[in-house]
């Protein structure tokens, strides 16, 4: 007797092969038969008209903090994700000494887009070392399967304490960091992650610690993975981080290297393709380098209380360091505005492109401004005879900064995004689930790939889209026995309606610790999500009775 048979489905097995109609039988959390199935089952699901695929593997999430109070990593499992990779960009909360917890949270509050109150209220700090963090996850249980990078900024803060975001490390400090990375790899980290991005800042504009690392530190820590003989490296590169330098780090590690965050900008339309060309050249020299490419337009919803979108601008830097009580007055300064306007004419790689027709007033605070809602800042500024910078800042100031804006920042050129996604070295990723919570939610990136890119735009056959969301990341990360539907593999499964699968519009909910808000998106066309053979989500989202069926993945193929 099997535990579960899913019958009459169109099966996409994850390998990229043409789909087959058939059934899948599950026993004790594993797939035991696929295609033709014999025997009976305690539970039988008739999947007529539906498609079955391996659960989506989301390789770029930031659930490290959230998962300590929300073991289900909301909303990812509802969106078809059965495995999340956490600790990207070097942002991990382990290792961390009790006395450094507040420092780490203040660093994270910005990049996670989560209030410091939510982090202070929410995080369960029952660990100090990285191995203890993994142990805690295992002890408390997790909804989806979880893999975790050991993060550079976490390690650097552990060793350099208050100096982590201030200076280069000494040779001795690099040695200590190296030992911690090695210990984490031994305990079950999936790799080592870091960031060089100018967009990655802690509280008050302090750069995330890894940005202070010099070449010696970067090379030494990368090389740690050579001795581990497993795992991969990931870096979110900065606008000026040269891919050939990352290739040197890749060579030092002799392990695969995943480069984020490749998003397309209309200001520098060839830049991402240049990165992908460099990656292709490195591949031809035997380096296993890949680009993490986003399948989603980067849409932010924000007020100027949290002006993350502008924080990559040079002209904005003084604002980040000033006392919050002086912030509003500074926004009125003509000198600041002149500097912003000038910088926005530069064709540089940055998050806020200054495409004012793609920035909108979403919600006003003063009913007298209701007529602005839904209109672009470009159009409103033209009508008012103002520069868009002045229009936006004046409106925000008139409403105590409570005006809600939306902006499409990157990845708005769909032809370009499609070209990036089809690149042979592209890994479709970058949901950033668990981060930027107040600004966006791309946790449903996989459903967007299936519905928008495969079904509507026919960018690739659906079996290829499934492959890119499952077996491809499983192979890169050395995740064993997952990512394909095959006898012996773990029963991580997504049952969906190919005619309707996708993600709905984002909406704001107020369920973070201390009542802070986040954006979320519902799934469409999802009928069931099984993690290790257990049903955790259905058409209504994560089930109220969902078991903590996930595993903390600690062993990875070499
Ligand atoms: Zn990230």
CA 32 / ligand 1 centre spacing (Å) = 36
CA 75 / ligand 1 centre spacing (Å) = 17
Q: Which residue has the higher pLDDT, 323 or 146?
A: 146
* Residue 500, both tokens: 């309707």
What pLDDT was estimated at residue 192? 98
Residues 519, 508: contact at Cβ < 8 Å? yes
- pLDDT tens digits, residue range 478-514? 999 999 999 999 999 999 999 999 999 888 988 888 8
Could you tell me which residues are beta bridge partners of residue 429? Answer: 294
CA 148 / ligand 1 centre spacing (Å) = 13
CA 260 / ligand 1 centre spacing (Å) = 8
Helices (H), 431-558: 445-448, 462-469, 471-477
- Per-residue DSSP letter, 478: T
Phi, psi of 524 (to 5 degrees): -120, 145
Tokens 């009928």 belong to residue: 527
CA 432 / ligand 1 centre spacing (Å) = 5
- pLDDT tens digits, residue range 266-315? 999 999 999 999 999 999 999 999 999 999 999 988 999 989 889 889 99
- pLDDT tens digits, residue range 8-56? 999 999 999 999 999 999 999 999 999 999 999 999 999 999 999 999 9
Could you tell me which residues are beta bridge partners of residue 349? Answer: none
Phi, psi of 322 (to 5 degrees): -85, 165
Residues 233, 258: contact at Cβ < 8 Å? yes
Cα separation, 329 vs 393, whole angstroms: 11
**Residue partners of 190: CB distance under 8 A and separation at least 6:** 85, 147, 148, 149, 231, 232, 477, 478, 479, 553, 556
Cα separation, 353 vs 348, whole angstroms: 9
Tell me what the mean pLDDT of segment 239-244 comes to. Answer: 92
Of the candidate ranges 142-151, 309-318, 378-387, 457-466, the one whose mean pLDDT is the lowest: 309-318
pLDDT-derived band at 319, boundaries 50, 70, 90: very high
Side-chain-side CA neighbours of 243 within 13 Å: the count stands at 24
- pLDDT tens digits, residue range 535-548? 999 999 999 999 99
What pLDDT was estimated at residue 521? 92
Residues 123, 192: contact at Cβ < 8 Å? no
CA 69 / ligand 1 centre spacing (Å) = 20
Could you tell me which residues are beta bridge partners of residue 503? Answer: 523
pTM for the model stands at 0.94
CA 58 / ligand 1 centre spacing (Å) = 12
């Amino acid at each position: 007797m099997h535990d579960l048979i899913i019958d009459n489905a169109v099966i996409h097995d994850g390998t990229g092969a043409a789909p087959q109609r058939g059934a899948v039988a599950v026993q004790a959390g594993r797939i035991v038969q696929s295609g033709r199935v014999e025997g009976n089952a305690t539970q039988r699901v008739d999947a007529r008209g539906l498609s079955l695929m391996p659960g989506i593997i989301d390789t770029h999430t930031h659930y490290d903090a959230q998962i300590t109070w929300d073991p289900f990593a909301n909303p990812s499992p509802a969106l078809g994700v059965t495995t999340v990779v956490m600790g990207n960009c070097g942002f991990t909360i382990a290792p961390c000494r009790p006395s450094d917890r507040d420092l780490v949270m203040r660093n994270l509050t910005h990049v996670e887009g989560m209030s410091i109150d939510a982090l202070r209220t929410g995080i369960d700090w029952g660990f100090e070392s990285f191995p203890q963090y993994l142990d805690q996850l295992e002890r408390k249980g997790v909804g989806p399967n979880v893999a975790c990078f050991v993060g550079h900024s976490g390690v650097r803060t552990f060793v350099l304490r208050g100096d982590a975001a201030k200076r280069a490390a000494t040779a001795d400090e690099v040695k200590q960091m190296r030992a911690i990375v090695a210990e984490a790899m031994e305990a079950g980290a999936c790799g080592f992650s870091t960031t060089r991005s100018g967009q990655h800042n802690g509280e008050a504009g302090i750069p995330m610690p890894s940005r202070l690392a010099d070449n010696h530190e970067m090379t030494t820590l990368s090389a740690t993975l050579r001795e581990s003989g497993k795992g991969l490296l990931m870096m979110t590169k900065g606008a000026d981080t040269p891919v050939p330098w990352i290739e040197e780090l890749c060579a030092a590690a002799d392990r695969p290297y995943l480069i984020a965050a490749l998003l397309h900008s209309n200001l520098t339309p060839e830049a991402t393709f240049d990165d992908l060309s460099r990656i292709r050249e490195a591949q031809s020299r035997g380096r296993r380098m890949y680009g993490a490419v986003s399948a989603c337009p980067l849409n932010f919803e924000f007020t100027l209380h949290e002006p993350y979108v502008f924080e990559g601008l040079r002209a904005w830097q003084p604002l980040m360091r000033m006392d919050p009580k002086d912030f509003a007055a500074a926004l009125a300064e003509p000198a600041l505005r002149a500097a912003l306007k000038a910088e926005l004419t530069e064709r540089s790689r940055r998050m806020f492109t200054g495409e004012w027709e793609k920035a909108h007033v979403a919600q006003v605070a003063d009913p007298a401004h209701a007529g602005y809602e839904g209109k672009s800042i470009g159009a409103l500024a033209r009508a008012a005879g103002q520069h868009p910078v002045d229009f936006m800042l004046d409106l925000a100031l008139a409403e105590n900064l409570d005006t809600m804006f939306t902006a499409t920042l990157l990845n708005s050129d769909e032809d370009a995004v499609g070209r990036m996604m089809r690149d042979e070295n592209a890994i479709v990723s970058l949901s950033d689930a668990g981060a930027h919570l107040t600004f966006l939610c791309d946790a449903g990136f996989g459903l967007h790939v299936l519905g928008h890119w495969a079904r509507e735009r026919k960018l690739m056959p659906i079996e290829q889209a499934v492959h890119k969301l499952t077996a491809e990341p499983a192979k890169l990360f050395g995740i064993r026995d997952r990512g394909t539907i095959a006898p012996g593999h773990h029963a991580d499964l997504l049952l969906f309606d190919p005619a309707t699968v996708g993600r709905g519009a984002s909406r704001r909910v107020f369920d973070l610790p201390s009542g802070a808000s986040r954006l979320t998106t519902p799934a469409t066309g999802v009928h069931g999500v099984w993690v290790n053979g257990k049903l955790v989500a259905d058409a209504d989202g994560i089930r109220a009775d969902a078991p903590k069926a996930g595993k903390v993945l600690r062993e990875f193929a070499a």
